[in-house]
Structure 1
C-alpha cells in the first residue's frame, strides 16, 4: 500500500505546462485519482493506517489526506472515521520531517472545517503547532502556519496562540522569502490581530511595518493576503494612523496597487483603503496621491467581491474636501447605480452607503436621478438590514431635497 500511495502522490500534481512523462497521469487523471480516493471508501483505510507502525505508510496516508482535504466531504469523512487524533499524534514524530510535513499539511486542510478545529482543540493540537513555529523546514512551516490561520478563526484560539508564545515567531516569519509561507503567515497574523492584546505585541514587534512592506512583494497572492492583514492591524492598533504615515512611500504604494489586474488584490487594497482612510489625515494624504480617480477607474467592474469593497472605499473617501464632487467628475456615480442590481446583500449595502455619501453633492444627485436610482432605493428602504434602510433613505432624501429646491426656484422665477 505504501508503494501504491507513494506513486499516486508523486503524480497527482504534475507541472501543467509540461507534457505527461512516461506512465504518469495527466492533470485530468490526477483529479480522477483524488475522486477515487474520496468515493471508493479509501478515506477509512487511510485513517486506519495513520496508526500503523510503518512511518512511510503513515506519511503517505497523511499526504493523501493533505491532498484530498480541500474537499469538505473528505474533511468530514476524516472526522467521521476518527482520523483527527492520529494526525495530532504524528506531530510527536518531529524528527521525521517528511512525516511531519505530511501530518501538518493534513491538519491544515482538515482545519478548514471549524468542526474539525474543535476536535483538534480537544487533542491539544494548538499548543503543539505553536511549538513547531521555530527550527523547522519551510515545507513544515507553511503547513503549521496555514493551520494556525484556520485555528485563529475561532476567537478563543487567538488568545491561546498568544498564551502559548506564538505571536512573536509568527511576526518573525513575515520576513521570510518563501511566498507560500508569506501568504499563510499574513493570514494568521491578520486573524490574530483582531485580538487587542495580540495587536499590542504585533505592534511592539514592528509587525505593522512588516505587513506594509509585503505589499511590495511581486506575488499577487502575497499582496492580497498582506492587504487583508493590514485591514485587521489598522483597525485594532492604537496608533495605526501615525504608523502608516511614518512609512515612506506607503501611501503611494497602496494607491499604485489600484492599477493591479488581479481582482483579489484590488478588493483587498480597497478594503485596506477603507480602514486607513478612517483617519482624516491619512485620507487627506491618500487624496493628494490620487486615490479618487484611481478608485473611480475601477467602478465598471462586474466582480461582486470587488464591488463590495470598492463601494466601501468610495463611501469612506467621500469624507474629505471635495472628494464627493471629484468622484462625480471622474464618472464613478453612474456605474455605482448599476451595483444596486446585484443579488449580494453586502454589495447592495455598501453601494447604498456610497451613493448616500455621493448624493450630498447636487451634481451627483442629478446623475443618480437620470440613471433611475430612486425606484431600487425605495425598494431597499423596506429591507430588514437597518444600515441599508438608512443609506437608501438618506440618498432618496438628498435627491428629493434637490428636486424641491429646483422646483421652488422655478416657481419663484415664474412668479417674478
Structure 2
C-alpha cells in the first residue's frame, strides 16, 4: 500500500472503499510492532483527508492510538501522536482523545531532556521527535476549551515553557501553536507571564522560518489581552530585543 501515492484522493478512497481502514486499524491491536508501524505510516498520510479522519474516528481508531502512546517503542509513540494530530481536527475527535485519557498521555510525551544543541545523537533525535509529535497532537486538541484546561491540569505549561527554548524550528512551531490557541484563556496568559515565555516568543520573531514568525506574532497578539500592567511588560521585552526593534 505504501508503494501508492497516498497523497492522492483516489488512492485514499480506494483504501477506504475496499475495507482497508478496518484492516489498518485492526493491525494496531496486534502484538507485532512492525505491523503497527506500517499501519500507522499509512494512516498518518491518509488521515490528512477530512472524510478519512471521520471514518477513522467512527471505527474506534483514536482509542487504539491513544493506548499506543504508552508503548515503550519511541517510533510507535511518534507515529501514533502525529496521526492523532491529523485526526483530531474536528470536535468529536478532540473530545474522544480527552475522554480516553489522551491529553495526559500526550503531555507526558513533551517531557524530554532539555536539548539546546543543534547536534544530536540518534537517541536524542528520537526523543525530540516524540516530543514534537506530541506537541502536534496537542496543538490540534487545544482548539477545544476543555482540552486547554486538561493540558494545564496535566502539567503541560512548564513543559511547553522548556520546549520553547529549543533551537529547532520544527519543534517550536507546534509548541508556539499550542500557546497561540491557549492564550485565549486567562490561566494561560498568566502562565506566559510567570514562566517567562514572553522573552522566548519574542526572540523567535527573528527566526528565518516564516511559519514560526507568524505563530509567534499571533501568540503575542493574544497575549495583548492581558491587563495593562502586563502589556507594558510585554512591550518592554519587545522593545529590549534589539533585533526586533
Smaller-chain TM-score bracket: 0.7 to 0.9
1:41 aligns with 2:51: no
Superposition deviation, residue 182 in structure 1: 1.9
The count of corresponding residues between Structure 1 and Structure 2 is 196
SS in 2 for 1:205: helix
Equivalent of residue 75 in structure 2, options 52, 56, 69: 56
SS in 2 for 1:70: coil
Pair 64,171 (structure 1): closer, same or farther in 2 beyond 3 Å:
same
What's the counterpart of residue 181 of structure 1?
212
Equivalent of residue 9 in structure 1, options 44, 65, 74: 44
Superposition deviation, residue 183 in structure 1: 2.1
Unaligned runs of 5+ in 2: 1-35, 114-123
User: In structure 2, how many angstroms separate the alpha carbons of the residues matched to 1:181 and 1:170?
Assistant: 10
Superposition deviation, residue 35 in structure 1: 2.7
User: In structure 2, how many angstroms separate the alpha carbons of the residues matched to 1:105 and 1:167?
Assistant: 21
Say if 2:135 and 2:175, in contact at 8 Å, map to a contact too: yes
Using CA pairs below 8 Å that are at least 6 residues apart, which structure has the higher relative contact order? Answer: 2
Superposition deviation, residue 200 in structure 1: 1.7
5 Å-filtered alignment, 1:15-414, equals 30-94=49-113, 95=124, 96-195=127-226, 196-206=228-238
Pair 100,122 (structure 1): closer, same or farther in 2 beyond 3 Å:
same
What's the counterpart of residue 32 of structure 2?
none
Say if 1:9 and 1:60, in contact at 8 Å, map to a contact too: yes
SS in 1 for 2:136: helix
| CA deviation profile, 1:367-403 (whole Å, cap 9, x unmatched) | xxxxxxxxxxxxxxxxxxxxxxxxxxxxxxxxxxxxx
Q: Which moved more, 1:151-160 or 1:76-85?
A: 151-160
Superposition deviation, residue 158 in structure 1: 0.6
Larger radius of gyration: 1
User: In structure 2, how many angstroms separate the alpha carbons of the residues matched to 1:109 and 1:101?
Assistant: 13
Pair 155,31 (structure 1): closer, same or farther in 2 beyond 3 Å:
closer
SS in 2 for 1:84: helix
TM-score where L is the length of structure 1: 0.44
User: In structure 2, how many angstroms separate the alpha carbons of the residues matched to 1:136 and 1:58?
Assistant: 22
Say if 1:167 and 1:201, in contact at 8 Å, map to a contact too: no
SS in 2 for 1:103: helix
Unaligned runs of 5+ in 1: 14-29, 214-246, 248-416
